[in-house]
């Protein structure tokens, strides 16, 4: 996909990584449409000059309405960045997680699948189009503290690969963006100032550099995410050691022990 002259819809585009990508894509000469849930955030995006749409990614009807309305308003629509997501903690020992599990699967996994389904007939009629999915380094090494989140991201990675294969003879590109831990408010305001997280500006600059490289891309991976993305490459034993070390460190950190 060329990097200018497109019309791109970004879900969850009124904050964090989505909003930063929206600004960058617009600067490159693309028309950018932002879809999101919170009215307050959407109003802020409108104040920045973006056309916005209200959507609840957990609701199949709302997603179909979004796709129809955006295509009606912008018949040149040829890109979507499936970025909306939630990340919540679950204690599987105490139970009581089913509401979180339903919401997480609906938002992070079913939502992008449903929106792809709704947009694809239109994308297939375009000269070129692209579906971007936003997964996570945690799609490749799960963090036990957020089990359903990691399962949805692994699921979205898997779905993305199948989608890319099925679309291999069309003009629709399928690109997975897998961020590392980044300073946004995904898990709360503390994350946006966590020194262990990658600064949002740096993350988006490196991501845009990769996207603008002109290389045919399957995955957009900044350097910081490579250890997670390729943790499985050294074989079973190395993966298990990495998984344990990562989860022990993160669990101790969450418990305030280090
Ligand atoms: N930051 C990280 O460390 C990190 C790492 C790996 C992957 N990611 C992924 O990057 C994506 C963007 O996250 P972020 O870090 O930029 O956090 P963020 O600022 O919280 O962005 C998430 C966006 O999704 C929207 N959203 C959530 N549920 C929705 C729903 N039901 N319907 C419509 N919109 C909904 C939120 O809008 P509302 O608040 O209005 O609901 C918000 O604008 C997510 O998919 C996340 O999993 C982030």
Residues 6+ positions from 25 with CB-CB distance below 8 Å:
6, 8, 10, 32
Alpha-carbon distance 95 to 27, whole Å?
Answer: 46
Alpha-carbon distance 188 to 207, whole Å?
Answer: 23
pLDDT at residue 57, as a whole number: 98
Is 146:127 a contact under the CB 8 Å cutoff? no
pLDDT at residue 169, as a whole number: 98
Is 170:124 a contact under the CB 8 Å cutoff? yes
pLDDT at residue 181, as a whole number: 97
Residue scoring higher pLDDT (225 or 253): 225
Q: Choose among 69, 79, 71: nearest CA to 29.
A: 79
Residues in the chain: 258
**236 alpha carbon – ligand 1 mean position (Å):** 32
pLDDT at residue 253, as a whole number: 84
Q: What is the CA radius of gyration of the chain?
A: 18
Report the interhelical angle of 147-166 vs 111-123 (nearest 10°).
20
Q: What is the pLDDT of residues 89-122, one digit of tens each?
A: 999 999 999 999 999 999 999 999 999 999 999 9
Average pLDDT of the chain to the nearest whole number = 97
Q: Write the residue with the smallest CA distance to atom 20 of ligand 1.
A: 186
Is 143:155 a contact under the CB 8 Å cutoff? no
Q: What is the pLDDT of residues 114-155, one digit of tens each?
A: 999 999 999 999 999 999 999 999 999 999 999 999 999 999
Ligand 1 contact via 181 beta carbon (within 6 Å): yes
Q: Any idea what DSSP says for residue 178?
A: -
Ligand 1 contact via 15 beta carbon (within 6 Å): yes
- In the predicted structure, residue 87 carries a pLDDT above the cut 80: yes
* Ligand 1 atom index nearest CA of 138: 6
User: DSSP string of 66-126?
Assistant: HHHHHHHH-TT--EEEE---------TTT---HHHHHHHHIIIIIHHHHHHHHHHHHHTTS
- Token pair, residue 8, equals 């791109």
- The three-state (H, E, C) secondary structure of 130-158, written as one string: EEEEECCHHHCCCCCCCHHHHHHHHHHHH
pLDDT at residue 258, as a whole number: 47
Going from N- to C-terminal start, the domains of the chain cover 7-230
pLDDT at residue 110, as a whole number: 98
Alpha-carbon distance 10 to 31, whole Å?
Answer: 11
- pLDDT class for 189, splitting at 50, 70, 90? very high
- In the predicted structure, residue 257 carries a pLDDT above the cut 80: no
Active site residue 165: no
- Token pair, residue 231, equals 């943790």
**83 alpha carbon – ligand 1 mean position (Å):** 6
Between strands 7-11 and 79-82, the pairing is parallel
| pTM score over 0.95 | yes
Ligand 1 contact via 56 beta carbon (within 6 Å): yes
Pick the CATH number of 7-230 from 3.30.565.10, 3.40.50.720, 1.10.3300.10, 3.40.980.10: 3.40.50.720
47 by DSSP, 3-state: which? helix
């Amino acid at each position: 996909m060329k990097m200018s002259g497109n019309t791109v819809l970004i879900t969850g585009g009124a904050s964090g990584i989505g909003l930063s990508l929206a600004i960058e894509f617009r600067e490159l000469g693309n028309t950018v449409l932002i879809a999101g849930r919170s009215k307050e955030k959407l109003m802020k995006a409108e104040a920045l000059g973006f056309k916005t749409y209200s959507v609840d990614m957990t609701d199949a009807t709302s997603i179909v309405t979004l796709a129809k309305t955006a295509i009606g308003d912008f018949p040149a629509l040829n890109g979507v960045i499936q970025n909306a997501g939630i990340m919540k903690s679950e204690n599987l020992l105490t139970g009581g997680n089913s509401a979180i599990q339903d919401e997480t699967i609906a938002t992070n996994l079913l939502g992008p699948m449903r929106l792809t389904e709704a947009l694809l007939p239109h994308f297939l009629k375009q000269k070129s189009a692209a579906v971007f999915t936003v997964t996570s380094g945690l799609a490749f090494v799960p963090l036990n503290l957020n089990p359903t989140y990691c399962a949805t991201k692994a699921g979205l990675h898997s779905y993305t690969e199948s989608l890319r294969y099925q679309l291999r003879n069309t003009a629709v590109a399928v690109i997975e963006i897998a961020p590392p831990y980044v300073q946004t408010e995904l898990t709360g305001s503390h994350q946006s100032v966590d020194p262990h997280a990658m600064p949002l500006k740096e993350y988006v600059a490196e991501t845009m550099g990769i996207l603008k490289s002109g290389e045919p891309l399957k995955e957009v991976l900044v350097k910081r995410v490579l250890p997670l993305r390729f943790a499985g490459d050294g074989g079973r034993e190395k993966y298990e050691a990495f998984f344990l070390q990562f989860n022990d460190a993160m669990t101790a950190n969450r418990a305030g022990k280090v």
